[in-house]
Amino acid sequence: MQLTFKELIKEQVPPQVIVVAAFVVMLAIGYGIWSSETSGDFTVTAPLYATDIFVDNGKAATLKNPGDKMTFTYPAGKHIVIVSRGGYWPWKKDLNIVAKQNIALSPFLVEQEINPEKITQLSFSDNVITLSEEYSDALALFKNLSISDEMLPLVAATNLKDVRAADYFPGRKDVLLVAVKDGIFAIDAVQKDPRNFQPVYKGTSPVFVKTANDVLLVKDGDSIFRIAGIK
């Protein structure tokens, strides 16, 4: 004797299991858990090793290597994404996820303890005191310091006042380095809500230049410092 599909289910599965399964399915559909019509995606690219991803105050994943990508699916609406790593300032993004759309996130992380290396200003030779060659070469880079035409609209969009110097963050075209009256900061060039703002150097009147190998030379008063390895 052949059984219909309904009869087969009735024969093999206890009634209470069918009721529970039906309830779970309806609940999932009602909350959009399984519905692509009511959920959207965002993709995070890791800036460093061992980058932790938090979504709505819960840990969602750890990305092991720089450049690793992971896509997350969440119901449409507002969500908070925080990217962090021990010893670095956290990066935050308030997302408004739209159904069936993907948002690309490229966070940046700056070390909390950056130790600038001071370039020796004076050298002593044969009882004669002169400017050190390294200091003199670095000082020459600041003589014609100006903000490039490419940077001007990006800086203006940040609404920062009294910007003294600006350039791209090493290795990035979506993050700025800006010098203001009390320090140098990394700031989102394009992403807002909120605009991430992370300190790189604290001083009194700093300006900076970025060398061809992405080393920052910072002039603060008469002192010049070297900052290497930020990324």
Above 80 in pLDDT, residue 8? no
pTM: 0.78
The count of residues in the chain is 231
Of residues 14 and 126, more confidence is placed in: 126
Above 90 in pLDDT, residue 43? yes
- Residue 230: which pLDDT band, with cuts at 50, 70 and 90? confident
Residue range 99-119: mean pLDDT, rounded: 95
| Predicted pLDDT at 200 | 97
Rounded Cα distance, 12 and 23, in Å: 19
On average, the pLDDT of the chain sits at 85
Percent of the chain with pLDDT over 90: 70
